[in-house]
């Protein structure tokens, strides 16, 4: 692997995140990302919680799925399909796709939990639990043509804590704020 050159601005962001997390007793800290534009052209302000343990959230979601009474919810998918979706989601949590996991591990250099740099493009990524989102400019999203099982899985995912984890590529035009400090990128 080659040595990464991290820009002074990226180092400033890394230090901001490190300082915010280190000042937290729990290792969890809130970050505000302003003017974040995703790949679909949507621009939003995001509030995320960096430092929440994804593995603990995943275990809680497995427990939730194992104990859910599907008839207590107003799902659009039929119960038999939801049962299959539930079983497949639990299996995926227990044994994730190793090829995808290895590809992810090899694609990023972790600065510390929740902050990483992409090995190829050098872009800084912040990963955390999405608390709130305010859409400033709507994006253009393609219509999904999902299979019934995927739709059933999506209905269940909406109930899971892990579905709120997000990864943000921080680039020019974003503003990051933590513990009262603001950095315009």
Among 130, 132, 106, residue whose Cα is nearest residue 119: 106
| pLDDT score at 144 | 79
Distance CA 50, CA 65 (A): 25
> Would you say 71 and 79 are in contact if contact means Cβ atoms under 8 Å apart?
yes
State both tokens at 20.
């915010």
pTM score above 0.85 = no
List the alpha helices (DSSP H) in 27-180.
54-67, 79-94, 98-107, 148-157
Going through the chain in order, the beta strands assigned E by DSSP cover: 29-37, 43-50, 108-112, 115-118, 124-137, 165-170, 175-178, 181-184
Kindly tell me if the per-residue pLDDT of 175 is higher than 80.
Answer: no
Mean pLDDT of all residues belonging to the chain: 82
CB proximity list for 105: less than 8 A, separation 6 or greater: none
Per-residue pLDDT band at 90 (split at 50, 70, 90): very high
Where are the chain's structural domains?
8-184
User: Over 70: is that where the pLDDT of 109 sits?
Assistant: yes
Which pLDDT tens digit goes with each residue over 9-48? Answer: 667 766 766 776 677 666 667 888 888 888 899 999 999 9
The DSSP symbol for 4 reads P
Record the tokens describing residue 162, joined without a space. Answer: 């892990």
């Amino acid at each position: 692997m080659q040595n990464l050159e991290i820009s002074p601005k990226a180092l400033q962001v890394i230090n901001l995140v490190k300082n915010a997390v280190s000042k937290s007793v729990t290792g969890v800290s809130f970050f505000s990302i302003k003017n974040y534009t995703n790949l679909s052209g949507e621009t939003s302000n995001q509030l995320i919680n960096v430092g929440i343990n994804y593995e603990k959230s995943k275990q809680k979601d497995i427990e939730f799925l194992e104990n859910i009474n599907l008839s207590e919810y107003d799902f659009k998918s039929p119960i038999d399909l939801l049962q299959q979706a539930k079983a497949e989601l639990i299996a995926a949590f227990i044994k994730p796709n190793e090829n995808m996991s290895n590809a992810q591990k090899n694609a990023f250099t972790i600065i510390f939990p929740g902050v990483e740099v992409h090995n190829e493009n050098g872009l800084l990524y912040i990963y955390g639990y999405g608390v709130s989102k305010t859409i400033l400019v709507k994006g253009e999203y393609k219509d999904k043509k999902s299979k019934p099982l995927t739709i059933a899985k999506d209905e269940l995912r909406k109930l899971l804590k892990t579905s709120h984890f997000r990864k943000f590529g921080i680039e020019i035009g974003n503003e990051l704020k933590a513990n009262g400090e603001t950095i315009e990128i």
